[in-house]
Each structure stands twice: as structure tokens, then as C-alpha cells.
Structure 1
């Protein structure tokens, strides 16, 4: 037997108020509607739950017994509804890191849709974001998609972020306005965040192979402040960073753009195909409007990423 929650709620209201009229006021419906709901519930249960009196109503023994379970049932129902509503109100976005290009993309989107409640999440990359997307604990993920992504996930190209190098002021390259990738051949970039397998480690593996640039993943990695301080204090250490990566300012560092070609990191917007959050279509459209396709005449991408970031915006796994 399926209980009518409206009828259960009417019964609890009458039991609390000891009055059909007061229960009607509490529920915002007519007294007649309250009476019909309670009568229907009693028919379903096959017992009398309330004794009608001239002064109002009193629960019967069965009514008092049922009241505890009825309150618990309504509590669970209200909790379930609130969880769903809260889920719909809050748009959970995994930006990978709050100092990366992805945070700027979602900030700009929020300016166009200020009524969307956004919950920013940071993860350790696709290895964490993929199961979260599948489980529905996040709505979207900004990051690089690699081969083998679950077929229930969809993605759209979001942004090709130019790479730069960060050097100390005493580094031989510090005075350069720009650098070609050929000039970095035979050098080693310090990349303490590349110590474990990830989609960005895969990206730099291709970069190293194509331009003869090695990477040193040794740490320790104590965060961006330590990272910048280490580079500022060294005459020979440099690292790759994204153009929009917000590293802490330091007077002893310089950022140098890379050209001929410019390596670009491929940011994708990734979501579950069955996700029905009302903000998702707006974000997908926003990302599509801002996307600029890969330009092979001046940019570089790993071969895997080239087809997806070339030409008009599309969705694909």
C-alpha cells in the first residue's frame, strides 16, 4: 500500500493543532480538504485515527501509535525534497585549482548568470573528477580529457591556454621578451606537480618528446609560494606555467611567453550526459561562445587533443 503523504501531513497537522480548522490554516488548504485527506488515510489504514469532537479532534490509540511513524515519514520526505532542491540550487563546479585558468572561466560565467549558486570544488584531476561526475556529486569539471573517459560523460572544448615559463631574475633567459620552443631544447623544466601520473603529466610527456625538453618532477612540493621562492632564488631553474595561472607575485621572478609554436594546454568542460541541472546548458553555451579553435600555424597540442580542438565547437567523448 502506498501512503498519500498529503493525507499523512493533514493527519499530523490535525493531531498537533487538535483542530481541523487550525490544521487547514497551517497547511493553507480548506477545512473540507483536510477532512477528506484524513478520511482517505483512515480508509487506507482501516482504522480510526482521530476522534471528532465539537471542540476539535483528538488522536485515538491507533492515531497516537501511528503519529510517531507519521512524523518520521514526513521528516524523511522533507529531507529528501530539501536535498534535491539544494542540489538544484547549487551548481557544483570542479575547477581543478583556484589559481588556474578554469577559475577565471567560471568567474566570467557567474557574471553573466549571477543568480546561479555555484559551489567551487578542487580535485586532483580527472582521476578524482570522473567518479564524482558519475556519482553526481559534482556537475561539471574543467580539465584535460584523455582517452578512456567513461562513455556516459560528454565534453566540450573550453579554452586553449598558452604556456609561459617562469624564471628567476638572475636566470640567463630572464631578460627575454619571448622565447621559441627551439631555444629550450636540451633544458630541463622543474615541474614538482608532475610527480604522479595525471592528464597534465601526459601532456608534458608529449611536449618533452616533441621539443627535447626534459622535466624534473622532484619535490618537495610545498605549494605555490615555495615554488615561486625556489625559482626566484635560483639562476638556472625554470618551470612551465599557464598564461592565466595566478602565481604569487615575487619581485625576483619573470614570466616569458613561448612562441614558434606556442604550446597550449587544452581545457575541456566535462559533464555527465544525464545531468539535468538548469545551469548546465547556460554554461555549455557560454563556453562555446568563448572558445577559439586550435591554430596549427602558431600553436602546439599533443596529437590526441588536436582533432577535438580544431574547427567548430562540438561535444564528444
Structure 2
């Protein structure tokens, strides 16, 4: 009965080449970083798969049998091709894919990885690095009583209604503004319609509504709107860099170092963060 073709284990082939070149199983084991017993098992498996004896042992080491000499050239070729394939993938310059929630938000400046607020336990084994604390500003029309102020103290907003139609109820940003609302007696109006930034700015500029926006949010220009910093305390939106631990892209480590280097820590004397975010952004 004809013997079936064997699927060669590359690890056993590497062991064969190492023993051939080192002549001792112990030296081959040290070269491969495994035990001598493991080398012996790999050679035994290879000989079983090939149906041939490859080595003859002696006091002076190991010598190739006739079958071993016939297999050596092919074994070296297999190992060389495998090493070349690994080197191609390891050295390949792949683009680091990154994402942001909206091209008008401050996170676009940090990369241009996904940036978002964590605010609790992450799903799918994701990791995060605190990236940026963005001050929240007030957006009002030029006719609003607060429009001429250089800054607005938080207590002056107590009892106000702030219009934020883009706050999806299950989103991390909606949860942030619910915490802000509870802390400072501010009502967040999420009623629509939500037709995007242009509509939002137009509505603020042409009426009595007021809104919250990030300091570095790229708002559409409108002649009837004014953006004012909030102070005493200044509310901060916490952006984090999210990534998966299996992502081994070489640029990712550099991006993480860049983000961590420029982070300014939270100052509880003059700034406000929800309790969920304080630990990550303090110190």
C-alpha cells in the first residue's frame, strides 16, 4: 500500500537543519531556545513523517545518513523561504488605521486610532490611554445677554436649558452631559431635529437657544453666534485613545507615547470632570 504524503512541520525541519549544522543535539537546542528533549522529539517526528532515518549518532556528534544528506538541501530551502516570508510581513510598511467620531471635533487634531470618552468599563478587551481634556464652551447668539462676556461662570448657567440634539441617549457624550446636568442644575434638551452642525449653529444664531460645544470643535462659521469659555469650574470633556491589545502596528506605540506626553492632568481646583473619569486623568 502506497504511503500517503506527509505535511511537514516547519519546526521539525528547523530542528533538523540546526542539528546538522551544530552536530550536537544540545548545541541545536541552545540555538533554537528549546530543550534538548524537545529537539529529540522534533527529529523523531520528522523521521516518522518522512519514513526515513536522518541521523546516525556517535561519540563525535551526529552524522547525516544517506537519506539525511538527500533531504538537507530541501530542508534549508524550506527554512529560507519561511524566513523570507516572515521578514516580508514584519518589515512591511502598513498604514496605521485610525478613526474619530466627527471631523469637526478636537480629536481630529491629535492624529488625524479611535478617540472617544471611556467613562466606564470597555468592551471587547479594548485598552485606552488618556489623551486630551477639552474645555466645554457655551454657544449663544449675539443677542443673548451673555454674549458680551469673556467667560461664563458655571453658577450663572444654573437653571438654564442647553440644546444638544445630537446627544444620542446611549452614547458616552450624552452620559457626560447628564452628569454635568446633575452636578450644576442644568437641563439638557435633546429634542430634534438633528440635521448636523450647520443646522445646529443656524438655530443657535437665529434664536434664544444656547448650546455646549468643545473648545476646538470646528464649527461652521455664522455671523450671529458667539463661543464663550465656561469657568469656575471649567467643565472638561475627556478624550481617550482606544486600541486593541492585539494591534502590534509599530506606529501605534509611538502614537501612544505622543498622546501621553502632551496630556495636561486634571486640576480639581478649577476644573470639573465626572467621577468616572477623574482617576484616569488625575496625576
Task: Give me the TM-score of the superposition, normalised by structure 2.
Answer: 0.67
Distance 1:281 1:195 in 2: 32
- Please tell me whether the aligned partners of residues 165 and 238 of structure 1 are also in contact (alpha carbons under 8 angstroms): yes
Q: Which residue in the other structure is 1:58 paired with?
A: none
Distance 2:202 2:177 in 1: 23
Q: Which residue in the other structure is 1:49 paired with?
A: none
Distance 2:224 2:129 in 1: 38
Shift in Å at residue 232 of structure 1? 0.5
Say which one has the larger Rg. 2
Alpha-carbon distance change, 162 to 290 in structure 1, aligned in 2, over 3 angstroms: same
What does residue range 63-212 of structure 1 map to in structure 2 within 5 Å? 89-107=94-112, 140-150=113-123, 152-212=125-185
Alpha-carbon RMSD: 2.3
Q: How many residues align?
A: 202
Q: Deviations over 1:241-281 (max 9, x none)?
A: 00000000111100000000000000001111121011100
Distance 1:2 1:143 in 2: 47
Q: Which residue in the other structure is 1:244 paired with?
A: 216
Q: Deviations over 1:67-125 (max 9, x none)?
A: xxxxxxxxxxxxxx9xx79x961211111111001001114xxxxxxxxxxxxxxxxxx
Query: Unaligned 5+ residue runs, structure 2?
Result: 1-5, 10-49, 51-85
Distance 1:191 1:232 in 2: 14
- Runs (4+) of structure 1 exceeding 3 A deviation are 1-4
Shift in Å at residue 152 of structure 1? 2.2
